[in-house]
Amino acid sequence: MTAPAVPAPTPATTGEMPRVRESSGRRNAELALLIFVMLLVLAYSATVEATALDTITGDFWVPVALVAGVFLGLHVVIRFLAPYADPAIVPAVALLNGLGVAFLRRIDLAFADANERADLPIFSGVGGRQLAWTLIAVVLAAGLLIIVRDHRAVSRYAYTLGLVGIILVMIPAVLPSQFSEINGAKLWIRVGGFQIQPGEFAKLALVSFFAYYLVRKREVLSLASRRFLGIDFPRGRDLGPVVAVWLLSLMVLVFEKDLGTALLYFGMFVVILYVATERVSWLIIGLLLFFGGAVLAYVLGASVGGPFANFYQRAEIWMDPFAKPYDDGYQMVQSLLGLGTGGLFGAGPGGGQPNKIPLVVSDFVFAGLGEEIGLFGLSALLVVYLLIAERGLRAGLAVRDSFGKLVAGGLAFTLGLQVFVIVGGVTGLIPLTGQTTPFLSAGGSSLMANWLIIAMLLRISDAAGRPVTGAPGGRAGAAGGGPRHSCMVPRRR
Amino acid sequence: MNAPLRRAGVVVMVLFGLLFANLNWVQAYKADEYRTSPYNARVQVDQYNRPRGVIEVSGKALAENQATDGELKYLRTYPFKSQFAHVIGYKPVNLGSTGIEQAEDEFLAGTSDRLFADRFRDMFTGEETAGGNVVLSLSLPAQDAAIKGLANNPVGSTRGAAVAVDPKTGAIQALVSMPSFDPNPLASHDTEEAQAAYNRLKDDKEGPLRNRALSEVLPPGSTFKVIDSAAALESGYKPETSIPAGSSYLPPTSGTPIRNSSPGICPETQVTLIEALTESCNTGFARLAVELGSDKIKEKAKAFGFEDTDLKVGNLDGGGINVAASRTGDMQNPDGGEDQAALAQSGIGQNNVRMTPLEGAMIAATVANGGERMRPYLVQQLLGPDRRTIGTASPKKINNPITGPVASDLQQMMVSVVERGTGRRAQIDGFTVGGKTGTAQDGDDERDHGWFIGFVLKNGEPISAVCVLLERAGVSGGSSAAAEIGGQIMQAVIRGEATDAQSRRPAGWPLPPRRAHRQRWHGRCLARHRRGARPYRRGEEPAPGPAGGARLRRALPRRSPHDGDNQPSGRRRRV
């Protein structure tokens, strides 16, 4: 917030000193923001205990200190390995992640016996697991920053990543239900008591693959066209990839019974395609295909049922959650009632009864929080999410290579879209689909995958912020030092 | 590529704008609807976080709270168990509430608009606004007499009801339905236990959950003759006017003759109206009804409150327990003409005439009150959490079904019933008692319902009016048993008023010292309980701190009539 995300182009003649000062200024801003948000989380935890327990236990600060420690570690890694990265991203994510851990611990308190509440072990319950996952996920993110020193290196493995992404998406669909289905959506791999959601990791892999593929094909996709109704439409054979991805996401919809994930993959692809080709027609085709598919699924669900029944049911609940308030609509009704009870200011941290909402630790975490922090608190959280997405998009704007632009744009947009899909779902704006709320929902897969996405965004924003000439190893090219184009032509690696 | 990236940024902003707009819709515009939704269990748990108001009579709590360690912090208890069950009802966790608990729910829970000032103040002090207290108009001795009288009836009736009202104000003095039930298990926080208790009561063949005083109607039998008499007096008859009677009467269109309950009753061809009522002459009143016509009878019954489907008894400002409509029923042939056989039967309270015990009491009360029918009520006073008076019942007249002269004629006739006729067992020494008995056939069961409606006057001033019903009260003697119970209830009212007059503490006056102390003590205990500390041990006095003092100061009005220290000491009953 203090340092501009896109620094004025540093002239090639500038010496070492100003650049160092500038990067350290960004890092200091990041550190200050980080400390500030950790204090916020600390205050939140204290309020929760004061309200829910009527007393603040002596070790209430331990979970906050643990996450703060690991965030500070990440900050140090960034300071050395990505000094020009956007300073607002990590504090914003840290705020969400820290609040998520504290809120899940608060849910554990609500479910704990009255006499055990005061001494709930730090790593117990959903909150404790989330704390552990946070530590692992941040270490993973730091690891990605350490291993991937140049985001363009990722494009070397683009096809491998694409294959891995599709496999990750497909695994739950082909697995028998008992290994993959939770709450009607087949999105999981369940082995024993352990479960992961491979689709979360697929996002990063698929975005990298799409970006690479489109950088190579963008001329064909954007030039050869037929004009119809004033809009340039691509040739039939060039529609191949988009149709393929559309089919893939429809398969997700049908076999994994999850509209949200389908919407996410498809939206992600269409937006990357649009950014790569700058052709509005792709957006129109994409939207038509998606809504056509959704309407078709609804109609099929109403008439045929089978694999479409789940989507039809969710659409029905969305249209009138209070029609069956105790069975089908129960989750939605409780979510809306929780949000409504919170009202403008909320019941205060620890003052509400978020445990009345089913699945409050995963899908409905936003509604659970909303009961206690109210409209004002939730609006603030939305702004934080928006900040992360817009900062990611900004990194895409500022970075000089097309691959980086597409990856950053795709990841940031997907993050924003995911927040829209799940928050819109739990607040009744769109039919509810089982997505995780990034950084807030309980779940290691989601946390790790989203932290990897953040690491990738940090890496790209570092490349974007890095002065043109001073970069070691000829990073980010453009050695000419002339006036920089705002839109770079793709380069051969 | 930057232009589309920027547009993608705009799309994200638009999506978030939609989220924000929708959140405003859910959390601001619809917030109240969702907060108070019946599907919202949060509000309910919230209600149990603060003490619900007390329902009380003459300083005795009929419904109060007990602090618990569970998720719901206060348990509702009913110390009098079954004695007031049909008046106060019950407030269960998972089932619907009933009675005053339901009718005054908002006030008792502390969410009523009338308690806005308290809530506003507590917003700043950070305390939970406790519920307001409801003082009922009941008379403890009268209620007790009604319960005992019904339970010990000599005719073996297991079901029945009794109602007593103050004729001048409409204040209910006693309201009993037999058999009754203990509401405590229904208020249990163990919802399965509560449900099981409810199911047991619901499946009980005697129907203890039914409020026979207010929501059940039965044929009123001869008590309905008071309505016939009122209609006749209004049409110009006098108590001494002779009406045709006889030992048997065959209405023009019917095959079954109407007879008197014993051959000794009005065998003469002509009796006076007062004599007919005193002896409860069936043939006379059947003929009288046919003579007057169904319109007049129906109109008079309606003026007395029959056919009223909207009556609630509770708070005069609105809200209360629903009262079933009493009915005169159909008295017409299919072609629209008057069915004289039905009319003759209706005239003696049979056929399709149905009445609630409350309506019976109101008929007697109207006669005793010079023809003014007052709106019945139960809630005498509403007190804030700090026992500040928030509302006091101001009696309301409904209408004048009969004029003053007619009312005094009717009084004279009903007094004759108790002094010389069928209601002799309701007599009270030193008081003027009037009434009318009734024996109603209902279905094929040979056991009739016994009724008594009556009133008691002192120097012409009405004190109480009662209605007693004994269902299936044996083959004979049901109505005189009812009259005896009615007399006992009215006697208890007189007794209660006598002790009350000595000890009445006007509302809003400060609490007697011991009670103030108890309230302060309770407040500290509660505060300690909220802090999670162990309760005080016996003999462990909390240190007198500013908090306790402040609490006490707030609990008492700043200035009170007692400040002058001039009230007679020792006469006030501790309440």
B229 as an active site residue: the answer is no
Is residue A255 in a domain?
A: yes
Give per-residue pLDDT as tens, B364-388.
Answer: 999 999 999 999 999 999 998 888 8
Give per-residue pLDDT as tens, B85-122.
Answer: 999 999 888 777 899 998 998 889 887 777 777 777 77
The partner residue sitting opposite B4, judged by closest CB among A275, A337, A420, is A275
Amino acid A234: pLDDT: 65
Nearest-CA distance B297 → chain A (Å) = 50
Q: Is the pLDDT of residue B417 over 90?
A: yes
Taking CB atoms and an 8 Å limit, are B34 and A379 in contact across chains? no
Is residue A440 in a domain?
A: no
Return the ∠ at Cα A247 (arms to A267 and A320), rounded to 5°. 60
Q: How many Å is the Cα radius of gyration of chain A?
A: 23
Taking CB atoms and an 8 Å limit, are A337 and B34 in contact across chains? yes
Question: Count of domains in chain A?
Answer: 1
Counting every residue written for chain B, the total comes to 575
- Residues in chain A with CB shorter than 8 Å from the CB of B2 are 397, 405, 486-487
The partner residue sitting opposite A382, judged by closest CB among B20, B41, B530, is B20
The partner residue sitting opposite B24, judged by closest CB among A278, A375, A413, is A375
Q: Is the pLDDT of residue B514 over 60?
A: no
Q: Which amino acid is at A358?
A: P
Cβ atoms of B453 and B467 within 8 Å: the answer is yes
The band of B547, judged by pLDDT with boundaries at 50, 70 and 90, is very low
- Residues in chain B with CB shorter than 8 Å from the CB of A438 are none
A/B interface, count of CB pairs below 8 Å = 147
Is residue A194 in a domain?
A: yes
The one catalytic residue in B222, B247, B280, B326 is B222
Q: Is the pLDDT of residue B143 over 90?
A: yes
Cβ atoms of A414 and A169 within 8 Å: the answer is no
Domain range spanning residue A287? 151-299
Minimum mean pLDDT among B128-132, B426-430, B502-506: which range? B502-506
Which element (helix H / strand E) includes B403?
Answer: none
- Residues in chain A with CB shorter than 8 Å from the CB of B69 are 114
Residue B28 DSSP class = I
Is residue A237 in a domain?
A: yes
Strands A185-186 and A189-191, sheet pairing: unpaired
Q: How many Å is the Cα radius of gyration of chain B?
A: 29
Nearest-CA distance B39 → chain A (Å) = 7
Is residue A245 in a domain?
A: yes
Is residue A122 in a domain?
A: no
Q: Is the pLDDT of residue B523 over 60?
A: no
Amino acid A195: pLDDT: 76
**CA A43 – CA A32 distance, rounded (Å):** 17
Taking CB atoms and an 8 Å limit, are A486 and B34 in contact across chains? no
Residue B7 or residue B539, greater confidence: B7
Residue B20 or residue A243, greater confidence: B20
Is residue A231 in a domain?
A: yes
SS3 sequence of chain A: CCCCCCCCCCCCCCCHHHHHHHHHHHHHHHHHHHHHHHHHHHHHHHHHHHHHCCCCCCCCHHHHHHHHHHHHHHHHHHHHHCCCCCCCHHHHHHHHHHHHHHHHHHHHHHHCCCCCCCCCCCCCHHHHHHHHHHHHHHHHHHHHHHHCCCHHHHHHHHHHHHHHHHHHHHHHHHCCHHHHEECCEECCEEECCEEECHHHHHHHHHHHHHHHHHHHHHHHHHHCEEEECCEEEECHHHHHHHHHHHHHHHHHHHHCCCHHHHHHHHHHHHHHHHHHHCCHHHHHHHHHHHHHHHHHHHHHHHHCCHHHHHHHHHHHHHHCHHHCCCCCCHHHHHHHHHHHHHCCCCCCCCCCCHHHCCCCCCCCHHHHHHHHHHHHHHHHHHHHHHHHHHHHHHHHHHCCCHHHHHHHHHHHHHHHHHHHHHHHHHCCCCCCCCCCCCCCCCCHHHHHHHHHHHHHHHHHHHHHHCCCCCCHHHCCCCCCCCCCCCCCCCCCC
Which of B255, B238, B333 is closest to B294 using CA atoms?
B333
**What is the mean predicted confidence (pLDDT) over B25-41?**
84
Instruction: State how far Cα B294 lies from the chain centre.
Output: 31
Taking CB atoms and an 8 Å limit, are B1 and A333 in contact across chains? no
User: Interhelix angle for B546-555 vs B513-531, to 10°?
Assistant: 130
Give per-residue pLDDT as tens, B49-89.
Answer: 888 999 999 889 999 998 888 778 889 999 999 999 999 99
Q: How far, in Å, are A449, B23, B223, B248, B396 from residue B301 at the CA level?
A: 80, 57, 12, 26, 20
Taking CB atoms and an 8 Å limit, are B45 and A340 in contact across chains? no
Cβ atoms of B380 and B506 within 8 Å: the answer is no
**CA B297 – CA B228 distance, rounded (Å):** 6
Q: Is the pLDDT of residue B271 over 50?
A: yes
Give per-residue pLDDT as tens, B290-336.
Answer: 999 999 999 999 999 999 999 999 998 888 999 999 999 888 877 77
**What is the mean predicted confidence (pLDDT) over B24-44?**
83
The partner residue sitting opposite A420, judged by closest CB among B15, B30, B34, is B15
Per-residue pLDDT of chain A (493 residues; tens, 9 = 90+): 444 444 444 444 444 444 444 678 889 999 999 999 999 999 999 999 888 887 888 888 899 999 999 999 999 999 999 999 999 999 999 999 999 999 999 998 888 776 677 777 777 888 889 999 999 999 999 999 999 999 999 988 988 888 888 888 888 877 777 777 776 667 777 776 677 888 888 888 888 988 888 888 777 776 666 666 666 666 666 667 666 766 776 676 667 777 777 788 888 888 888 888 887 877 888 888 888 878 887 888 888 777 677 778 888 888 888 888 777 888 899 899 999 988 888 888 888 888 888 888 888 999 999 999 999 999 999 999 999 999 999 999 999 999 999 999 999 999 999 999 999 999 999 888 878 899 999 988 999 999 999 999 999 999 998 887 644 444 444 333 333 444 444 444 4
Mutation site, B7, B13, B15, B29, interface A, largest A CB count within 10 A: B15
Is residue A183 in a domain?
A: yes
Percent of chain B with pLDDT over 90: 58
Instruction: State how far Cα B284 lies from the chain centre.
Output: 35
